Structure 1
Amino acid sequence: GLVFRVDMRLRPFGDSGPLVMSFAAMEEYYQSHARDWERYALIKARIAAGDPPAGEILLKMLQPFIYRRYLDYNAFESLRTMKALIDHETRLKGWESNIKLGSGGIREIEFICQCFQLIRGGRQPALQQRQLLATLKQLEKYHLLPAEVVEQLREAYQFLRLTENHLQAIEDRQTQSLPQDILHQTRLAYSMGFYDWRSFMTALRPHQEFVHTQFKQVIAPAVTEETSEVQMTLSNHCQTLWIQILQEDSQAEVSLSTVGFTDTQGILEHLRQLVRTYAVQKLSKRGRERLDMLMPLLLATVLKYPVPDITLHRTLSLVEAVALRSVYLALLIERPQVLEQLVRLCASSAWIAEQITRYPLLLDELLDPRHLYDPLKPDELDNALQAQLAHLPSDDLEMQMDSMRQFKRAYVLQVAATEISGNLTVEVTSDYLAAIADTLVRCALTIAWDYLTQKHGRPLCNEGNTLRSAGFCVIAYGKAGGIELSYDSDLDIVFLHDSCGTDQYTNGTKPLDNNVFFSRLAQRIIHILNTNTPAGILYEVDPRLRPGGDSGLIVSSLDAFKTYQLESAWTWEHQALVRARALAGNTECIAKFAQIRREVLSIHRNPEELRQEVREMRTKMREHLDKSNLNIFDLKQGLGGIADIEFIVQYEVLRWATQYPHLLEKTAVLPIMRLFAQQQLLEMPTCEQLSTAYRTYRAEAHRLALQNQPALVSKDKFVKLREHVIDWWQKMMEVN
């Protein structure tokens, strides 16, 4: 008999290829000659015998061929083509009852898993599994398939594989086809635990139907809703229009007007410019076919929205940016809902359109509207980021930095999309944006800390004859401190440590003075946040609010910070401290900072002197920063604007904190305003009018930011609100 049936046809060049090849020849084959199905076959490849270390080298060499670094949406079409060939052969050979290759069979479950592996495996190594059940577990973990779908696929797979094993055991034959004779049907049913064949088939069919339904949903091209006659007419017009553009037909401008565009000359020039770009000229035949399929779909989708001219200009910039990466063209063709979401977001926001154009990986976020318009809660972000970084090498800082940037862009996009849809207030939006920043700063600190402590050990100090660990913390000022971040806000941060006493050194084999250690730690954090990688900048970091400004040390000890704040700081620095909060760091160090902040802000102050100093600082700021003129009102720096409200709040906190210390529990303007009202430090109408103005101004500033516009509005806008703010400023800050 046989030990095993051996099939060598999967080797390079199949039956005509050599039985043994060198590693170099294998690599050359898979780079130059291999077909899509050979890529899928390699997913399950493992070392069975021989030299395991050498085998691992080979598999590592072939890894880029299997799992692409980008999201490879070409897999949809390739797997669908491959399945069509299998179905054709199945029909020709009468294998409809084949539980492996037939409808709803084992192969369809494998294709479902492989589709996700091939598309995402390069970016999510956790999906690089050989075993199907292990892959299903990862699909559930990363929410790529619902838990109930994964469970049913798992049950179906186990049932089908068990059936396959029993089939082959009946006569020791390599078969996956259900028996046609009564004897073998009865044997199979009994061996599977069923009383008769009908009972077995009653259990089998629901599994096959469910598998086939899921297969069609994942692999098959998405089917749009039934097309109306009007939509069909528009689609035909757009097809004709694109052909006219390609042929430089003189009627193209007329066609643009016919379908609904206004700036026909500008649109025509942009479309022709797209066709002439280097990216489009260099497209492969397959890429050009995809572009020709996409453009009529894009034109028809754009025309559904109120400002099609602007929307098309924005989306054409994206098409030009991704043209040479035809995988994105495939995505927009394969998944009409992604194209729909893309156009909707581009129509709503110039900022979102620019972000997706600069970072096309964000297109992946449009696949599932449930996640796009339902951002993670702030307390869920840390786990999400850790899960994303978990599969990366701990010593590859570049990959970690890129992953952090992708994380930020994905979740900020979700927040922006949700705000545009009207489901987030400006306060909640800022809470989300601040939580994302906090999460990333904590992560940057962890990465930098781990790197330096591995090289130099932990920083220690001897305080009062007690050796202890020296702590470190990151303090946010400004918008980050006040939890009022917008979409492109930078981070005003200060670094502090609590090392003091004697023996201030790290305890590693290459010890450093603690001041040097913490300075390098801060520099590495800034590097992680501030460096411009292929994925862009994470955050612009401004550390100038540290004691001494640009000339001061990049990291201060808490003792030096306290001394500076109590003895040398200007009033405006205490105003800034009102909005300061700890983002990350050692718990004890954060607590010490909070105590210093309370002590500094609770100093008894002369109200008149304080009022004059705050007023003078506001005047200087307005003179240098206010962009208002006869026709324009600067929302932030203009008279009666955001800064006036912030200065009023800061003045009141500094004035009353010594008597009402709980005012220091908040750093954001609106929560502090509510505390003023509760303690009757300001009259209720004052708090309500200032809060309404502040909330309205910030909502407008957010709206403008999403359109890539500065925070400037017509002088005729918000007149009543400005009058209220100016009136309260006069009453509270201009009193002699």
Structure 2
Amino acid sequence: DEGAAKAEPTSAPARSSLGSRLQMTLRAGGVGNPRRNARVDAAFQSSAAKMARESSEPRATANAEDVVPDAQRGEVRAGSSLGWDVKLGLGGIREIEFFVQALQLVHCGTRPGLRVRSTLDALDRLLYAGLLSHDDHANLADAYDLFRRIEHRVQMEHDRQGHRLPVDDAGFQALSARMAIAPERLRLEIARHREVVSSMFGRLFHDSERIADQPTVREMRPAELTTVLAAQPQQLHEPAILDALTRLGFGRPRQVAGQLLVLREKPYGPFALSSRLQQGELAIYLMEACASAPNPDQAFSFLARLFTSVGDQPAFYRMLFENPHAARLLLHVFGSSQLLANILLREPEVFERLVGVGTASIWRERAEIGDDLARRLRGVDDPDRRLGRIRRFQQEETLRIALHEIAGASTIDQTTRQLAFVAEIVIEAALFEVVAGLNHRLLNGATRERLRSDQIPLAVLGMGKLGGQEFGFGSDLDMIFIYEADAALGLDHEFFTRLAQRLIRALSTASDVGRLYEVDMRLRPSGAQGTLVVSLEAFCAYYGERADLWERQALIKARPLTGNAALRRAILEARYEFAFARALPKGVARRMAQVRSQMHEAAGSATDDVIDVKMSAGGLVDIEFLTQYLQLRFAGAVSGEGAETNGEPQRGATSQNTLWALEGLATIKALATAFPALNLVSLQRDYRYLRRVEARLRMSDDRADSALPTDTDELRILARRLGFQGEEAGRQLHHELGQLQQRVSTAFFLIFNYGSAAHS
């Protein structure tokens, strides 16, 4: 099993360091080809020898008071961190990276999922694979996060590549102010993390207590776990047990004790009093994994519900024992997302997908997803069963995408595009079912052949995030229906209205497995007062003569998802004509800024005290507004941008996709001349970060709210989901988002202040 936590068989002696195992792996051809292994082995020997010499030198402790420079690296070796090199120094960034890369190199031959570049991503995957204990993962992630932030602040101060801390107290106090951490606390944190990293790095080159049949890095067994799991049912609510649960990280120890009591009294499962030794080991592992989840209380609560639902099935618990990486990821999901947890509780068999998550595709092309659904529908004739399979397929694909998002295996671009792929395929499949149900209307006397859904002259026009292929968890389907009448087949306005109504019902009606999507039709011509469907002729007349500026702005995101080729092409040409080709009216920048201000006020919760990643000043909407203003102003000069793209968003300055539009806008010289201080690359980076925060918010409890929690504990849980570590995780997230908002607000002011002067 690729993800199993058991160490691979080896001829290593019982007491061996990871460094020796790494060299043996290379020599045995465990990864790559022999010629490459020889080069890597030589490089490792050289690097290891150098770092081993340095690691064998005496380490500074947090209580040391003297400062002794290192001859080779200018190392400052003291409890005081003055002058320490955060990257190359003892216990610094380089030692963390070397430790992680050594584990990757040993195990990536049998675990391809470990082949990632990012150190933090690799740490997460090593944790899920059972190759790194929770404590070691937390210690290394905490240290890496702190040291990287220090490195960035040092480089920002000197505007150059540098890694050495200030050598005097005044400089260190200035650094601590930029870090928003008190100087004395920062000194202690640096010293503590250096000591931990140095100790772990030493494991690579010194004999350890591990034996060959144990995981590479043995799980820690805190005394609190023994205290809790050794207690009799009647003892679980005693103060000593509740205190142990609190120290393990549970915020509601009485609730956890009550749930554990229920599991202890069951005649089956790893927590049962009658469980065997193997299941007892599983109970310890599961309890520790719950404690390491972003929300430990939520993780254990869902675990208790799952075991109650599964019942007495020894094969299920054996699967957990044999696949600890899947068990840990399951509990991380339980502690991260109520949305996904509820899917797993409704459909326990879907957990089988977790076991293979290490080999499940991180990225699937749209055609591959569509072919998969077609296979599942093959041979099923009953309409209700077909629609049920579509719903289950949508949930399973959402789960697959979310698992990789939670594990940090996919980029936010991959996440949002694949969610859009699934939505588009589900719309097509639901439309096919609706057309099949109405086919008696299509049996014209002269032509007795049934028409396929792709032959129907009805275009589902995706708008907003759907049109831009930037779909999120819990996003609505923003759509407009456009048709071309066909009198010969009896396809008139009434028919297309019925077709649209049935499609909306199929997509939005709740069932025993939940609903597919919420549908929003408010962007259609004339809004709620307009007809549900509109002809192509009426659509063009509306946007050519009556559409307001905000509707022209919304048209930027329009993308036809269904319909025959001729209809799709006509819609894209109309989009280019009405959104980009026509001259802008006066006062565009001022009017768009006013609309944005009204949206901010209407949001209500997006105040200065609450960060809403979507609606707050400096949030997602600001980036989207300034991007769309730049598109309206500059993209019309770009020729050949209205062509068909086989259903995909267009590339370039006229793209429906915000990030692709920013890439295209960066190539327009007139824009660079008008706004020389505008950093479009920074905007892309900030947009991606905000979308990731939004995704984690929406996965957490299946809600459309994009505001950060105001409760300190909930904010810390969110920050842990995003990779921040330690007790100050929530404050670090809040601080980082505050800096991001300032950057985006500066760009927004630059565009709409000077844009108003240029286009008043």
- Which of these residues, 552, 555, 565, is aligned with residue 533 of structure 2? 555
The one-letter code matched in structure 1 to 2:233 is L
Cα contact 2:259–2:304 (8 A) shared by 1: no
Q: 1:240–1:616: structure 2 CA closer, same or farther, 3 Å change rule?
A: closer
Question: 2: distance between equivalents of 1:551 and 1:335?
Answer: 55
Question: 1: distance between equivalents of 2:445 and 2:754?
Answer: 49
Q: Secondary structure at the match of 2:534?
A: strand
Cα contact 1:260–1:303 (8 A) shared by 2: no
Question: How many residue pairs are counted as aligned between the two chains?
Answer: 492
Deviation at 1:410, TM superposition (A): 1.7
Matched, 1:706 2:706: no
Tell me the alpha carbon deviations over residues 224-274 of structure 1, each in whole angstroms, 9 at most, x when there is no partner: x956899899599868745746335554x5246557844668233234146
Map 1:425-436 to 2 at 5 A.
Answer: 425-436=411-422
Q: Which residue of 2 aligns with 1:345?
A: 333
Deviation at 1:428, TM superposition (A): 2.0
Matched, 1:452 2:438: yes
- Which of these residues, 748, 751, 757, is aligned with residue 726 of structure 1? 748
The one-letter code matched in structure 2 to 1:689 is S
Matched, 1:395 2:390: no
Q: 1:263–1:615: structure 2 CA closer, same or farther, 3 Å change rule?
A: closer
Question: 1: distance between equivalents of 2:529 and 2:599?
Answer: 22
Q: Which residue of 2 aligns with 1:168?
A: none
Map 1:331-410 to 2 at 5 A.
Answer: 331-336=316-321, 337=323, 338-349=326-337, 351-372=339-360, 374-391=362-379, 393-397=380-384, 399-410=385-396
Map 1:334-733 to 2 at 5 A.
Answer: 334-336=319-321, 337=323, 338-349=326-337, 351-372=339-360, 374-391=362-379, 393-397=380-384, 399-454=385-440, 456-457=442-443, 471-499=457-485, 502-503=487-488, 505=490, 514-625=492-603, 627-662=605-640, 665=650, 666-683=655-672, 686=678, 687-708=680-701, 710-713=705-708, 714=734, 716-733=738-755
Q: 1:269–1:636: structure 2 CA closer, same or farther, 3 Å change rule?
A: closer
Cα contact 2:459–2:562 (8 A) shared by 1: yes
Greater alpha carbon shift after TM alignment, 489-498 vs 225-234 = 225-234
Tell me the alpha carbon deviations over residues 533-558 of structure 1, each in whole angstroms, 9 at most, x when there is no partner: 11111111111211222222211111
Cα contact 1:704–1:711 (8 A) shared by 2: yes
The one-letter code matched in structure 2 to 1:246 is P
Cα contact 2:362–2:410 (8 A) shared by 1: no
Q: Which residue of 2 aligns with 1:53?
A: none
Cα contact 1:499–1:514 (8 A) shared by 2: yes
Deviation at 1:580, TM superposition (A): 0.8
Question: 1: distance between equivalents of 2:693 and 2:546?
Answer: 38
Cα contact 2:294–2:332 (8 A) shared by 1: no
Cα contact 1:490–1:540 (8 A) shared by 2: yes
Cα contact 1:471–1:589 (8 A) shared by 2: yes
Question: 2: distance between equivalents of 1:697 and 1:309?
Answer: 19
Deviation at 1:733, TM superposition (A): 3.8
Q: Secondary structure at the match of 1:539?
A: coil
Cα contact 1:263–1:309 (8 A) shared by 2: no
Question: 1: distance between equivalents of 2:459 and 2:554?
Answer: 18
Question: 2: distance between equivalents of 1:552 and 1:306?
Answer: 53
Cα contact 2:623–2:683 (8 A) shared by 1: yes
Question: 1: distance between equivalents of 2:311 and 2:535?
Answer: 53
Question: 2: distance between equivalents of 1:728 and 1:290?
Answer: 64
The one-letter code matched in structure 1 to 2:659 is L
Tell me the alpha carbon deviations over residues 487-521 of structure 1, each in whole angstroms, 9 at most, x when there is no partner: 11111011111115x4561xxxxxxx632322222
Q: Secondary structure at the match of 1:323?
A: helix
Question: 1: distance between equivalents of 2:536 and 2:260?
Answer: 57
Cα contact 2:251–2:297 (8 A) shared by 1: no
Cα contact 1:372–1:418 (8 A) shared by 2: no
Question: 1: distance between equivalents of 2:613 and 2:251?
Answer: 36
Map 1:153-302 to 2 at 5 A.
Answer: 226=213, 234=221, 241-242=228-229, 244=231, 246-249=233-236, 251=238, 253-255=239-241, 257-258=243-244, 261-262=247-248, 266-273=252-259, 275=261, 293=275, 297-302=282-287
Q: 1:423–1:340: structure 2 CA closer, same or farther, 3 Å change rule?
A: closer
Greater alpha carbon shift after TM alignment, 539-548 vs 604-613 = 604-613
Q: Secondary structure at the match of 2:591?
A: helix
Matched, 1:314 2:309: no
Deviation at 1:577, TM superposition (A): 0.7
Tell me the alpha carbon deviations over residues 119-154 of structure 1, each in whole angstroms, 9 at most, x when there is no partner: xxxxxxxxxxxxxxxxxxxxxxxxxxxxxxxxxxxx
Which one scores higher on RCO, CA 8 angstroms, separation ≥ 6? 2
The one-letter code matched in structure 1 to 2:288 is L
Deviation at 1:568, TM superposition (A): 1.9
Question: 2: distance between equivalents of 1:246 and 1:305?
Answer: 20
Q: 1:669–1:732: structure 2 CA closer, same or farther, 3 Å change rule?
A: farther
Q: 1:343–1:608: structure 2 CA closer, same or farther, 3 Å change rule?
A: same
Question: 1: distance between equivalents of 2:398 and 2:271?
Answer: 34
Question: 2: distance between equivalents of 1:475 and 1:672?
Answer: 19
Question: 2: distance between equivalents of 1:515 and 1:229?
Answer: 67
TM-score (norm 2): 0.58
Q: Which structure has the larger Rg over C-alpha atoms? A: 1
Q: 1:540–1:332: structure 2 CA closer, same or farther, 3 Å change rule?
A: farther
Q: 1:730–1:551: structure 2 CA closer, same or farther, 3 Å change rule?
A: closer
Tell me the alpha carbon deviations over residues 8-54 of structure 1, each in whole angstroms, 9 at most, x when there is no partner: xxxxxxxxxxxxxxxxxxxxxxxxxxxxxxxxxxxxxxxxxxxxxxx
Question: 2: distance between equivalents of 1:578 and 1:458?
Answer: 38
Deviation at 1:459, TM superposition (A): 12
Question: 1: distance between equivalents of 2:604 and 2:432?
Answer: 39
Q: 1:259–1:543: structure 2 CA closer, same or farther, 3 Å change rule?
A: closer
Q: Which residue of 2 aligns with 1:323?
A: 308
Q: 1:374–1:245: structure 2 CA closer, same or farther, 3 Å change rule?
A: farther
Question: 2: distance between equivalents of 1:459 and 1:602?
Answer: 44
Cα contact 2:456–2:563 (8 A) shared by 1: no
Map 1:72-221 to 2 at 5 A.
Answer: none
Tell me the alpha carbon deviations over residues 564-622 of structure 1, each in whole angstroms, 9 at most, x when there is no partner: 11122211111111001012232222222112212222452345333333223222212
Tell me the alpha carbon deviations over residues 366-415 of structure 1, each in whole angstroms, 9 at most, x when there is no partner: 12123446343333101111111214x32332x22222222122222222
Deviation at 1:638, TM superposition (A): 1.8
Tell me the alpha carbon deviations over residues 403-433 of structure 1, each in whole angstroms, 9 at most, x when there is no partner: 2222122222222222233332222221111
The one-letter code matched in structure 2 to 1:486 is G
For structure 2, the residue ranges without an aligned partner over 5 or more in a row are 1-211, 448-453, 643-649, 709-733
Cα contact 2:259–2:301 (8 A) shared by 1: no
The one-letter code matched in structure 1 to 2:373 is L
Question: 2: distance between equivalents of 1:313 and 1:580?
Answer: 40
Q: Which residue of 1 aligns with 2:721?
A: none
Cα contact 2:480–2:521 (8 A) shared by 1: yes
Question: 2: distance between equivalents of 1:662 and 1:701?
Answer: 34
Question: 2: distance between equivalents of 1:662 and 1:459?
Answer: 43
Question: 2: distance between equivalents of 1:454 and 1:491?
Answer: 28
Cα contact 1:529–1:537 (8 A) shared by 2: yes
Q: Secondary structure at the match of 1:413?
A: helix
TM-score (norm 1): 0.59
Tell me the alpha carbon deviations over residues 339-385 of structure 1, each in whole angstroms, 9 at most, x when there is no partner: 23312333455554344345434312112123446343333101111
Question: 1: distance between equivalents of 2:532 and 2:596?
Answer: 27
Greater alpha carbon shift after TM alignment, 658-667 vs 258-267 = 258-267
Q: 1:469–1:485: structure 2 CA closer, same or farther, 3 Å change rule?
A: closer
Q: Which residue of 1 aligns with 2:203?
A: none
